[in-house]
Amino acid sequence: MTAPMAVGGRRTVVGGPVLVLLVTAVIGFLLVSRLRGEERFTQRLEAESEEDLARILAGLTAEADALRDEVSGLRLQLAELQASSRSDESAARSAEQQLQALEVLAGTVPVTGSGVTIRVTDPADAVTYDSLIDIVQELRDAGAEAIAVDNRRVGANSAFGEDDDVVTLDGATLSAPYTVTAIGRPATLEGGLEIPGGALDSLRALKDVEVSVQRTPVVDIPALAKAPTLRVARPVGSGS
């Protein structure tokens, strides 16, 4: 509370009214100053000629147009960068998919999928490597994407042979009963194998040989034991 003041022997409280007057004076001063500033600005504009005012307006309009153009340019650059980024990502995904497909075809990666399993029993050792080659060829003709014999991958450069009357694949010994697995459309692969007069009919004609074909939901085929080495072929334009 504001202390009372003595005036003519009487005590009078004056702090409240004085404070109100001071606040009112400050507010009035601020309002007057603002009005005077606006008046001076208005007076400056009124003092300008029509040509000067037109020039000022034209300058402001040109500046606004320049800013709009700059904003439009930045938006266009942003859109181009976003489109380029999406294009680069799409190209990268396409290249990755092509690489995976080539790795599967080359046999350098293990694969899994639906397909068929062929089992050939041969207690009398009547089956030759030619019969296995015929099975592999018919599976390829039917669209097989990967093939293995006794869990050994068959690649583009794979070779069947015989060593002391024992069937071999890429130098590794195979033994009966032989198991041939292939990944592809099961129905199509089975249909290709069951063609009359085909490889399976020829095997079934051999003494004591039995052949069965089973559609398999999941077939696992390993990668080639040894990646192929090209000694002669070179990509066109490689310069070597």
Q: What are the structural domains of the chain?
A: 110-221 (3.30.70.1880)
Query: In terms of pLDDT, which residue wins out, 19 or 147?
Result: 147
The pLDDT of residue 150: 95
Query: Is the pLDDT assigned to residue 143 strictly greater than 60?
Result: yes
Of 163 and 27, the structure prediction assigns the larger pLDDT to 163
Q: What is the pLDDT of residue 139?
A: 95
Tokens found for residue 200: 């399976």
Q: pLDDT > 90: what percent of the chain?
A: 42
Average pLDDT over residues 39-68: 68
pTM of the model: 0.62
**Which is nearest to 116 in space by CA: 217, 195, 202, 197?**
217
**What pLDDT does residue 105 have?**
81
Residue 144: name the closest of 191, 100, 183 by CA.
Answer: 183
Query: Residue 185: which pLDDT band, with cuts at 50, 70 and 90?
Result: very high
Q: Which of 120, 137, 112 is nearest to 180 (CA)?
A: 120
pLDDT band at 28 (very low <50, low <70, confident <90, very high): low
- The H or E element containing residue 167 is strand 166-169
| Category of 213 on φ-ψ map: left (φ > 0), alpha (ψ -120 to 50) or beta | beta
Tell me the mean pLDDT in the region 137-157: 93
- Better-scored residue on pLDDT, 90 or 160: 160
- Please determine, for residue 36, whether its predicted confidence score (pLDDT) is greater than 80: no
